[in-house]
Structure 1
């Protein structure tokens, strides 16, 4: 059995949407988003989350599944943007960039965490929205929980002041960088271009605009002992960077990602990942129309469970 990893939680929170559709309020700066007008997309997204949760549970990941009935929260399926959890019993709530995404924050999810896990404090940054600041959780930041580094692509959704406050409170080193795709657009969330696992990292490093900063990010990941797997522009577009390492049955590590993402990885890339984690592809093509994929759907729970919560 592999040793427990701070990087790979054994439990997640998910939100199953009843009114899913690509969010018009986020389309302007999310190059991954695609329009969808078919009336069936809400039902398809509901089914995809149901199936994904069942697949994760079958693999040994504990899933806390909530339903969203609010028609004003089309992106509710992506809870990792509004809260995160941390070893030692800490929870953070985040300021969101789009006004309708601020409605996604839910007290019932936080109360569940307090009841089922050991929560010491909840630090709420959402008031920064009134100052025009956003920091969209583990979408805006890809956290190395072992090395205590917050890798952050600069964007409207990752305010530098909010980032500094989070890193000060939670003892992370901020490592921010500018990004640009082939059209010169910045990456809207870091977690579509970077995934940090226990023993490997997947990254679209060519998106980092400054060559010196690009090499510095690669170097920090290599210094941590991780294998660095380079993703090209096509693979980033297929959501290969939007993956999350989890812990399943018997302490076995898994890499949850979409079927589309898994299909675009090369045999050599898969071999590196599978030295330490089993690929777990999930079918979420409808949800990917909203510009996010499997990692965005999973809010990892890095908290100690209460003994009576099994």
Structure 2
């Protein structure tokens, strides 16, 4: 059982733009005064540069192209609709935005099989969409795969009952809480857990000031400390620079790398960087267009592949 992997799946965008359907509760998205074609071109450049950097570090990146006909502006964030598990299971998740549901494509699974991965079983939660119940993959669920715990900040995109069902199916202990951010002076739920929390092998980058309820905060900290994680606490303003949206991966010779955007990297203090670099090196890439229009960052772009090899 491993917490991190060397293989990630990424989807190259063909029609990236600000998704009006997700903007209703993703407070990280902003309008850019550019034509959609220009936005897509910039996003593609950021994507390709990011992939090149990951591959240069020895990460096995499987790139699948988005489907031009589907009009899926957020396809660059595959971690919200699928997760891959080391027993050969694939989980499919219900999505809040209707135009994101078309991102779930069988070609992606065929590609993984072509790459030599074994798919045993499909666990499909997408029926919940009919009841307006959502749980957006590893955006909503931050998994501690080694200690079999799953963390979830409840929001319109993360339903508690469905999360508990996931935990029962995959034998995880659920750790449920609410995480808020200040939007125009009002505290509102953060749309995805993985923008305020990154769980690595030996440490956790987390925005504790987002958890307003002190009992919930205490419970989250209890679980992290019980499992020996060093806590690297970030501020809400750092979270807005996507400092919570990071992913630890394995590069050449299994070296540990924490992947993040340039904005996230630049927001960190020297002390926080030193805390991270005790455990692994940092790889960052400029994702400004993707972050601004998409409201997601480096972690959202990478779906980790834990499937067994054939």
Aligned to 1:128: 128
- Counterparts of 1:146 and 1:209 in 2: how far apart (Å)? 28
Distance 1:247 1:37, change over 3 A: same
Aligned to 2:53: 55
Tell which deviates more after alignment, 31-40 or 89-98.
Answer: 31-40
Secondary structure at the counterpart of residue 157 of structure 2: coil
Structure 2 runs not aligned, ≥5 long: none
Pairwise CA distance, 1:71: 5.7
Secondary structure at the counterpart of residue 152 of structure 1: strand
Secondary structure at the counterpart of residue 293 of structure 1: coil
Q: State the Cα deviation string for residues 236-286 of structure 1 (Å, max 9, x = none).
A: 010000000000000101011000101111111111111121100011111
**Equivalence map 1:15-54=2 (5 Å):** 15-39=11-35, 40-54=38-52
Aligned to 1:173: 173
Secondary structure at the counterpart of residue 180 of structure 2: coil
Pairwise CA distance, 1:112: 2.1
Secondary structure at the counterpart of residue 181 of structure 1: strand
Aligned to 2:140: 140
Distance 1:37 1:105, change over 3 A: farther
1:19–1:71 Cα contact (<8 Å) kept: no
Which of 235, 256, 264 is the matching residue for 2:238?
235
CA root-mean-square deviation: 1.2
Which of 288, 297, 304 is the matching residue for 1:300?
304
- Counterparts of 1:71 and 1:120 in 2: how far apart (Å)? 27
- Counterparts of 1:70 and 1:166 in 2: how far apart (Å)? 32
Structure 1 runs not aligned, ≥5 long: none
* 2:190 is the alignment partner of 1:190: no
Q: How many pairs are equivalent?
A: 302
Secondary structure at the counterpart of residue 296 of structure 2: coil
2:118–2:309 Cα contact (<8 Å) kept: yes
Aligned to 2:225: 222
Tell which deviates more after alignment, 97-106 or 67-76.
Answer: 67-76
1:21–1:36 Cα contact (<8 Å) kept: no
1:148–1:171 Cα contact (<8 Å) kept: yes
Secondary structure at the counterpart of residue 155 of structure 1: coil
Aligned to 2:266: 263
Secondary structure at the counterpart of residue 107 of structure 2: helix
TM score, norm. by length of structure 2: 0.95
Which of 274, 279, 282 is the matching residue for 2:277?
274
1:19–1:70 Cα contact (<8 Å) kept: no
Q: State the Cα deviation string for residues 126-175 of structure 1 (Å, max 9, x = none).
A: 11111211110000111111111111111111112211221111111111
- Counterparts of 2:135 and 2:88 in 1: how far apart (Å)? 21
Pairwise CA distance, 1:120: 1.6
TM score, norm. by length of structure 1: 0.95
- Counterparts of 1:102 and 1:9 in 2: how far apart (Å)? 26
